[in-house]
């Protein structure tokens, strides 16, 4: 037992791992200023400074190595359970503390009161330790938890690192699937379901978008080498990566049995169920629909924003509703993802991918 505990602690301290939860339903009906300009300024200034500070180290480096170093410095490498009980990147701490950013809970509302008014009332605990819920902010019209910033940067770094290792022996798609499977094990394990009782699909989307950002540092490119100095030559725009699937009230999370019972009990005393068909939520959902990269079935709330989102949606269909999959539909999916049916089946068999429809408000509200 002691040996298993030590292994668990070692995993919690792994670079890029992130733990923290947010209640996006708390933000319903509350207007927040769009802070994408502030987020873009922070990222552009910070990446520029990383390149300046490491000028001599990068002079003979290849671009992917520089990109990985940038992500490592942006990610949650230096905060092992030292700040509010979780692992946070510098940017997340800035987003939660800067007096210049508009966020929820509003000024004057304590984090304890926020917890009491949330679906996770009375308190969220990580491995038995009281952990404050993360704030909510608006980036390009999407309401996100500040925890998603560390997923974007820290787990994005982990994806990119794993992708670079795997790409030497497999296809780009299968290399990505390896990285995504690692994140699924985290959400289904120590950083999600087994510790706080939450499996967050929004975390997984933020992870993947962080990987795309890391890859785009060289592919876009954002950075170039000029006279032996690596420079940020194209401005970073975070709105290219933040999307509605970062919002846990839209891209809903799954819960453990005990967490599900607690959430359902809290919904009886919260206004969430009444608000879900109101004007604010309806308008927000309509705006979110505009982000869909390739609209498909309107039978669910699925929004196709990435390879990862599409992969998880298809995995859920395979696991829970295989009889609904037509040959024509599957052919189009495999062609778009550039994988085979056997590859998807094998991947789906080995990931958690809980069925999201069991955890929508339609299923949970009394």
The reported pLDDT for the residue numbered 366 is: 87
Provide DSSP, 4-54. Answer: HHHHHHHHHTSTT-------GGGGTT----B-HHHHHHHHHHHHHHHHHHT
Residue 102 predicted with pLDDT over 80: yes
pLDDT, tens digit (0-9, with 9 covering 90-100), for 235-293: 999 999 999 999 999 999 999 999 999 999 999 999 999 999 999 999 999 999 998 76
Question: What percent of the chain shows pLDDT beyond 90?
Answer: 78
C-alpha 313/C-alpha 220 separation (Å) is 28
C-alpha 345/C-alpha 343 separation (Å) is 6
Q: Closest Cα partner for 204 from 217, 216, 193?
A: 193
pLDDT, tens digit (0-9, with 9 covering 90-100), for 133-146: 999 999 999 999 99
The reported pLDDT for the residue numbered 87 is: 67
Provide DSSP, 248-311. Answer: TTTTTPEE-HHHHHHHHHHHHHSSHHHHTTSHHHHHHHHHHHTT-SS---SSS-----SHHHHH
Q: What is the mean pLDDT of residues 56-60?
A: 82
The reported pLDDT for the residue numbered 294 is: 64
């Amino acid at each position: 037992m002691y040996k298993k505990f030590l292994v668990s602690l070692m995993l919690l301290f792994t670079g890029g791992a992130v733990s923290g939860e947010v209640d996006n339903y708390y933000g319903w009906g509350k207007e927040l200023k769009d802070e994408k300009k502030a987020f873009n300024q922070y990222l552009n200034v910070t990446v520029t400074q990383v390149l300046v500070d490491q000028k001599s180290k990068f002079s003979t480096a290849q671009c992917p190595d520089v990109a990985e170093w940038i992500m490592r410095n942006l990610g949650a490498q230096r905060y092992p359970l030292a700040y509010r009980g979780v692992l946070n990147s510098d940017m997340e701490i800035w987003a939660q503390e800067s007096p210049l950013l508009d966020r929820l809970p509003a000024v004057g509302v304590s984090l304890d009161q926020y917890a009491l008014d949330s679906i996770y009332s009375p308190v969220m605990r990580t491995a038995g330790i009281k952990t404050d819920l993360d704030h909510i902010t608006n980036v390009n019209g999407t309401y996100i938890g500040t925890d998603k910033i560390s997923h974007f940067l820290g787990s994005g770094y982990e994806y990119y690192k794993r992708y670079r290792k795997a790409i030497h022996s497999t296809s780009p798609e299968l290399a990505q699937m390896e990285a995504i499977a690692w994140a699924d094990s985290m959400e289904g394990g120590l950083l999600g379901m087994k510790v706080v009782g939450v499996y967050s699909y929004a975390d997984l989307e933020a992870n993947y978008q962080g990987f795309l950002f890391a890859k785009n540092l060289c592919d876009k490119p954002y950075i170039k080498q000029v006279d032996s100095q690596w420079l940020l030559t194209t401005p970073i725009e975070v709105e290219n990566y933040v999307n509605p699937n970062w919002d846990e009230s839209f891209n809903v999370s799954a819960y453990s049995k005990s967490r599900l019972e607690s959430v359902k009990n809290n919904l009886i005393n919260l206004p969430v169920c009444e608000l879900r068909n109101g004007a604010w939520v309806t308008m927000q959902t309509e705006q979110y629909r505009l982000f869909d990269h390739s609209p498909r079935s309107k039978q669910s709330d699925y929004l196709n924003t990435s390879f990862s989102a599409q992969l998880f949606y298809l995995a859920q269909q395979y696991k829970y509703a295989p009889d609904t999959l037509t040959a024509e539909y599957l052919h189009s999916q495999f062609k778009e993802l550039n994988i085979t049916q056997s590859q998807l089946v094998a991947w789906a068999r080995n990931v958690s991918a809980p069925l999201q429809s069991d955890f929508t408000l339609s299923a949970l509200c009394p």
